[in-house]
Chains A and B, each alone.
Chain A
Amino acid sequence: MKEEIIKLDKVDKNYILGDSIVKAVRNASLTIRKGEFIAIVGPSGSGKSTLMNLIGALDLATKGRIFLEGKDIEHLEESELAVIRGNKIGFVFQTFNLIPTLTALENVTLPMVFQGFSKEERIERATELLKDVGLEERMKHLPGELSGGERQRVAIARALANNPDVILADEPTGNLDSKTGKHILEILKDLNKKGKTIIIVTHNLEMARKVDKIIKIKDGKIVK
Chain B
Amino acid sequence: MKDFFFLAFNNLKRRKLRSWLTILGIFIGIAAVVSLISLGQGLQSFIHEQFEQVGGNKILVSPKTMMGMAGSATEEELVLTEDDLKAIRSVTGVEGAEGIVTRNSIISYKKESEVVMVAGMSEEYVEIFGNIDALKIIEGRQLRDSDKSNIVVGYNHIFGNLWDRKLKIGDDLEIKGKEFEIVGVLKKQGNPADDNAVWMEKETFRDLFDVGDNEGTITVKVKEGFNPDKVAEEIKEELRDERNEEEEQETFSVQTFSQLLETFNDIFAVVQVVLIGIAAISLLVGGIGIMNTMYMAVLERTKEIGTMKAVGAKNSDVLLIFLFESGLLGLVGGAIGIALGIGIGKAVEYIATAQLGTPYLQAVFGFPLIIGALIFSFIVGCLSGILPALQAAKLKPAEALRYE
Same complex origin of A and B: yes
Residues of A within 8 A of B (CB): 49-50, 53, 56, 58-59, 78-79, 82-83, 85-87, 91, 93, 97, 99-102, 110-111, 113-115, 119, 158, 161-162
Residues facing A in B378-404 (CB within 8 A) are: 396-398, 401-402
Closest B residue to A85 by CB, please name it: B312
B3 touches A53 (CB 8 A): no
B105 at the interface (CB under 8 A from A): no
- Could you say which of B13, B307, B313, B401 contacts A82, with CB atoms under 8 Å apart? B313
- Could you say which of A58, A83, A97 contacts B303, with CB atoms under 8 Å apart? A97
User: A111 to chain B: which residues have CB within 8 Å?
Assistant: 311-312
Total number of A-B contacts with CB less than 8 angstroms? 75
Closest A residue to B397 by CB, please name it: A58
The winner among A79, A82, A101, A119 for most chain B CB atoms within 10 A is A82
Residues A91 and B313 in contact in the complex (CB < 8 Å), given A58-B397, A59-B396, A97-B303: no
Nearest CB of B to A150, in Å: 18
CA distance A50 to B303 in the complex (A): 16
A91 touches B310 (CB 8 A): yes
B11 touches A113 (CB 8 A): no
Closest B residue to A13 by CB, please name it: B398
A113 touches B3 (CB 8 A): yes
Closest A residue to B13 by CB, please name it: A101
9 further contact pairs, Cβ within 8 A, besides A82-B314, A110-B308: A53-B398, A82-B312, A85-B311, A85-B312, A86-B312, A111-B311, A114-B314, A114-B317, A158-B311
Q: Kindly state the interface size class of chain B when it binds its partner.
A: 20 to 34
Closest A residue to B12 by CB, please name it: A101
Top 7 closest pairs, chain A to chain B, by CB: A86-B312, A59-B398, A111-B311, A97-B307, A114-B312, A53-B398, A82-B314
Closest B residue to A91 by CB, please name it: B310
User: A86 to chain B: which residues have CB within 8 Å?
Assistant: 311-313
User: A161 to chain B: which residues have CB within 8 Å?
Assistant: 311
User: B13 to chain A: which residues have CB within 8 Å?
Assistant: 101
A100 touches B308 (CB 8 A): no
CA distance A115 to B311 in the complex (A): 10
B314 touches A83 (CB 8 A): yes
CA distance A79 to B10 in the complex (A): 24
Residues A78 and B314 in contact in the complex (CB < 8 Å), given A93-B307, A99-B304, A102-B10: yes
CA distance A53 to B400 in the complex (A): 12
B316 at the interface (CB under 8 A from A): yes
User: A113 to chain B: which residues have CB within 8 Å?
Assistant: 3-4, 7
B255 at the interface (CB under 8 A from A): no
CA distance A6 to B293 in the complex (A): 41
User: B309 to chain A: which residues have CB within 8 Å?
Assistant: 58, 82, 85
Closest B residue to A114 by CB, please name it: B312
User: A91 to chain B: which residues have CB within 8 Å?
Assistant: 307, 310-311
User: B396 to chain A: which residues have CB within 8 Å?
Assistant: 59
A79 touches B397 (CB 8 A): no
- Could you say which of B10, B304, B311, B315 contacts A78, with CB atoms under 8 Å apart? B315
B178 at the interface (CB under 8 A from A): no
- Could you say which of B304, B308, B314 contacts A79, with CB atoms under 8 Å apart? B314
